[in-house]
Structure 1
Amino acid sequence: MQPTVIEQLTVQMLCEIYKKLGINDSFDPDLVSSAVASNDLWVLDWAYDIRDEHSHNPHHVTAVVDTLDMYSFLQDSFERLSPAEQAIVEGQVPRASSQIQFRGYDGNNEHDHRRAVRYLVNDLDRFESMKDVATLNSHSPVVEMYARMYGVFEPIRAGLINRLMTPLEIVSVLQAATHPNNRP
């Protein structure tokens, strides 16, 4: 359910009153105001477990969560590899150590994704290991690339219980970043 303009205005005004009176309880008026203004009502579901019968995560939010989860595993797994195992990955994927770093989303074309990362990491305290890269601008569209990578990662993810990724699993996910038309 999308709030009407009048409902949005009412919430914004209540947030201003909330701040002016200095009310400090479980609601953050800045977060509520920002989520309503940007029409990111899913944030309220995540922050306050406020669900209506029609609420669901928008597709871009699910994609961002999947991408951040994937990059968390890529980074943690690569960092814990032995030098010899890292060399295997680097031998198969040039500059692998830089490619395991989340690049952000395109500031010109992927606004919803960028906002979702900011909310998840900075406001909702999810994926805290991504704090330093949450607001990065990739300067080119990356949603399709991340989707290709996640398509390879998803079946691997199902088996990542009490273990990290192997060198070959890391290689397969990183290689998916290259568009199929550009592969040798």
Structure 2
Amino acid sequence: MKYTQQEKLQTMMLCEIYRTLGIQNSFNPDLIEEALSTNQYWAIDWEYPGLKSNEDTPEDVKFFVDTYDMYSILRYTYEHLDAAGKEEVAKSVSSFDEDHNLNFPGFDGNNETNYLIIGGLLKTMGRFSGEADLTKNSHLPSVDIYRRMLQVFLPARANYWVHGVGIPKEALIDTLNERIHPVHR
């Protein structure tokens, strides 16, 4: 769905009225205003299914969600390994550091701002549990890295994900090793 300039202005004015009147337990004017001002209309569809526009979720949003989910499952898998499995991961992944390799690093604030906007909207919508920083600035271009990692991770998640275990240890290792560009391996 696309909105005209007039429709955006009217809706944003209504959002301001909502805030001023303190209306709660209805629409979130902050979310609606952010979605409209950034042209991220999918957020309105996700938050208010009754207003669904029947448009597909944008690829950038799917990519963000898959990337964040990947890091959650990588950590989950690692935490469910025994000591020998964790040691194997540490030996098999170049410069392995649990915090650095298993926490969502975010997207580059200078070159990948669309993903930071998506993360902010998802956070406002409460789409991920915990204290995740969905707007974290990685300070380096990350999309290509995540694409390489997802090529290994997505099939593992689809074919082998088991609650209480995660994905296979080999898939964890292979996914983490994709962080390094093939030229530098």
TM-score, structure 1 length as denominator?
Answer: 0.92
| Residue 5 (structure 1) shift | 0.6
Superposed CA offset, 1:66-110 (max 9, x none):
101111100111112112111100001122412111100000010
Residue in structure 1 matched with residue 127 of structure 2 by the alignment = 126
Task: Output the aligned Cα RMSD.
Answer: 1.4
Aligned to 2:13: 13
Report SS of the residue matched to 1:95.
coil
Where 1:127 maps in the other structure, the secondary structure is coil
Decide whether the 8 Å contact of 2:31 with 2:125 is kept in 1: no
User: In structure 2, the residue corresponding to 1:134 is in which secondary structure?
Assistant: coil
Normalised TM-score (structure 2): 0.92
| Residue type of the alignment partner of 2:82 | S
- Cα distance in 1 for partners of 2:5, 2:139 equals 33
Residue 24 of structure 2 corresponds to 24
Structure 1 residue 132, shift from structure 2 partner: 3.5
Query: Structure 1: any 5+ residue segments left out of the alignment?
Result: none
What SS does the corresponding residue of 2:140 show, helix, strand or coil? coil
Percentage of pairs with the same residue: 37
The separation in 2 between residues aligned to 1:114 and 1:19, in whole angstroms, is 25
Residues paired across the two proteins, number:
180
SS across alignment from 1:63:
helix
Alpha carbons 1:86, 1:167 under 8 Å: kept? no
Question: 1:84-123 to 2 correspondence within 5 Å?
Answer: 84-93=84-93, 94-97=95-98, 98-120=100-122, 122-123=123-124
- Amino acid of the structure 2 residue aligned with 1:100: L
Residue aligning to 2:179: 177
Distance 1:30 1:118 in 2: 11
Shift of 1:161: 3.6
CA–CA distance in structure 1, aligned partners of residues 135 and 119 of structure 2: 7
Secondary structure at 1:27's aligned position in 2? coil
